[in-house]
Amino acid sequence: MGEMKKIIFKLAEMLALLSIGLLFTIYILRPVYENYGIAFTGNVWVNWFGVAYIFFVLYTLIFGLFIFKGNNLFKQRLTSVIFWLHFIGSNYVVFIPFIKGENPF
């Protein structure tokens, strides 16, 4: 039963962060892009997943470093190289349109 709780926790975590990322993308990132003259068209789901992953990293940092210090799940995430490479990629996806002047995705 303990394994089932972990799976449900991870699923709820993913759905919540994807929902928050979608809301942030639609109501905050879209107006910011448009204020800078960047058309919010194309595969905007790429931006959505980038924003959601940035929130996932922030969530993991807050919970892993301050709330659940000894939790093995958060400790494994924070020491994972792939976790941090995805974070770098997510930042690229969200912030490269400001440098290029368009959404390349």
User: What tokens were used for 93?
Assistant: 């996806």
Whether the CB-CB separation of 82 and 56 falls below 8 Å is answered with no
User: What pLDDT, on the 0 to 100 scale, is given for residue 24?
Assistant: 97
Q: What pLDDT score does 1 carry?
A: 61
How high is the pLDDT of residue 34? Answer: 94
- The Cα 67–Cα 82 span in angstroms is 23
- Whether pLDDT at 3 is above 90: no
pLDDT tens-digit series, residues 34-85: 999 999 988 999 999 999 999 999 999 998 888 878 777 788 888 899 999 9
